Amino acid sequence: MKLQNISRSRWRMLVWLSEHQPYSIKDLTKRLMLKQPTVTRLVDMAVDDGLIDKSNDARDGRQAVVTLTPAGEALVAELEGRARTMNDRLIERLGRKRASEFARQLRDVIACFEDDY
């Protein structure tokens, strides 16, 4: 799978799952701030691509939970490596202080919208 074909939503889902699994599709919808049909489509496509597994929640069979497959974990590792490279380039260009301020401002903007979903 080519990295340039990965949508931002898919990237966010995979990285989130690498740190929090198993995770329900319902909770993933809230976390990603996307609509349920969108997350369901993202999950189904990732299952088809062999990146995640989907199963029924052992505690509540009505809910589906997802986990990363080894291929999904390998892709996340590659994505994180590229993100680190981009971060290093940002620091090189802006300097550590300005890059840190920029990251803080981005987190503030994201926080403004997280409560809406």
What secondary structure letter does DSSP report for 59? S
pLDDT band at 114 (very low <50, low <70, confident <90, very high): low
Tell the residue number behind the tokens 């090189």, with chain if given.
92
Domains of the chain plus CATH, in order, are: 3-114 (1.10.10.10)
Q: What is the pTM of this model?
A: 0.71
What is the rounded CA–CA span in Å between residue 29 and residue 19?
16
Output the pLDDT for position 116.
54
Q: What is the pLDDT of residues 74-107, one digit of tens each?
A: 999 998 898 899 889 999 999 999 999 998 998 8
Q: Which pLDDT does position 64 carry in this prediction?
A: 86
Q: What is the pLDDT of residues 18-58, one digit of tens each?
A: 998 888 888 899 888 889 999 999 999 999 999 999 988 77
- pLDDT score for 7: 84
Residue 115: pLDDT over 90: no
Q: Which residues pair with 53 in a beta bridge?
A: 67
Rounded to an integer, the average pLDDT of 45-72 is 89
Report DSSP state, residue 101: H
Top-confidence residue, 70 or 63: 70
User: CA-to-CA distance for 8 and 69, rounded, in angstroms?
Assistant: 19
